[in-house]
Amino acid sequence: MTRYLDHAATTPIHPQVAEAMAARLGVVGNPSSVHAAGREARRVVEESRERLAAAVGAHPTEVVWTSGGTEADNLAIKGLWWARHAADPRRTRVLVSAVEHHAVLDPARWLASQGAEVVELPVHDDGRLDLAALDAELAAHGDRVAVVSVMWANNEIGTIQPVADVVARAHAWGVPVHTDAVQAVGHLPVDLAAVRADAVSLTAHKLGGPVGVGALVVRRGLDLVPVLHGGGQERSVRSGTLDVVGVAGFALAAELAVSDLPAQTARLAGLRDALLAGVRDLVPDAVLRGPDPASGLRVPHNLHLTFPGCEGDSLIYLMDSHGVACSTGSACTAGVAQPSHVLLACGVEEVDARGALRFSFGRTSTPGDVEAVLAALPDVVTRARAAGMA
């Protein structure tokens, strides 16, 4: 039996979501068609838009369907920069935190080839954005900044970022803010109307929905240059025939995740804390990365540790041989022989950053998963250290 502790990479689809999607798989209809089948498909799309918006505190007209979080991030970063730069050529700067997911960092860095000036803002040792650095950038260059992007919750070390503070500071300079909320929705209370971010990236497969569907919630009236051109779907912001089954599954998954949030938050935090306590007993030199759970600045489902003298890939393979699925950090960079940019940005030495493991919990997680990790870990760490010295 495999113990799955990699929910931050992707989650098992919720049974109710799978059932609802299966019921629609045999129903034909392009939501852009005007005949009865098309109108029925359009009804499902628009009802799903309303349901997703309600789950995250947005207006339905703000929801733009995408193929996932990566597309939503690209649309936000590129679309906002192009629009803002076209309106005011002085606005060339892109401010991002140094611990962003590569779906934000890479589009920002690519924009440098288009004339953007990219500034990667520093973070504290727990991964929280250095707001003083943001203040300094805005004070010096506020009239030249096109967009600020700071993720809601970090996918590797679980740090919750001060998004509302970022929004307040940026808006004072007339600068729009994008936040990648992929790791937040379903794990934290998310009220987009209260936070007032201008663009917010979401995806279904991190909260019990299907892979391949996401959304960018875009503030009404905000200019955004499309990345995809074609049939003009989604207000001409994102062309492409919509995945009716996928968006229906996404909306239901979001509803289920939000409705069960308080109970799940407490349960997952309990599992995380039990695992942390057990690891500290068994491997006392293991180092917690990211905020202390007691601080309230960490998502409840994430535990990230480094193990001195170990290589992360060795740890993963050895844990897998014991029937435990976990990761070193982002699944998008797994297998890449380099330390995490997130840990390096937090000031972790490269040799220490290489010995990372991330355990992430979800709806299907149980105390038995914690017990399985603790049963395997001493042998895994011993063997990984021996391999490192060989």
Considering the candidates 310, 326, 332, 346, report the single residue annotated as catalytic: 332
pLDDT at position 109 = 98
CB-CB contact of 374 with 278 (8 Å): yes
Q: How far apart are CA 164 and CA 152, in angstroms?
A: 10
**Domain of residue 376, CATH code:** 3.90.1150.10
User: DSSP string spanning 156-202?
Assistant: TT-BBP-HHHHHHHHHTTT--EEEE-TTTBTTB---HHHH--SEEEE
Number of domains the chain contains? 2
Same-domain check for residues 185 and 52: yes
128-166 per-position pLDDT tens digit: 999 999 999 999 999 999 999 999 999 999 999 999 999
Question: Do residue 223 and residue 303 come from a single domain?
Answer: no
Residue 332 annotated to the active site: yes
Least confident of 1-5, 161-165, 187-191, 332-336: 332-336
How many CB atoms sit inside 10 A of residue 10's CB? 15
Q: Cα–chain-centroid distance for residue 123?
A: 17
- Same domain (yes/no): 255, 303: no
Burial of 231 (0-12, 13-18, 19+ CB in 10 A): exposed
Residue numbers of the domain that contains 231: 19-259
- pLDDT, tens only, 210-227: 999 999 999 999 999 999
User: Same structural domain for residues 171 and 143?
Assistant: yes
What average pLDDT does this structure show over 112-124?
A: 97
CATH number for the domain including 198? 3.40.640.10
Please indicate, yes or no, whether the overall pTM of this predicted structure exceeds 0.85: yes
Find tokens 């733009």 and name the residue: 64
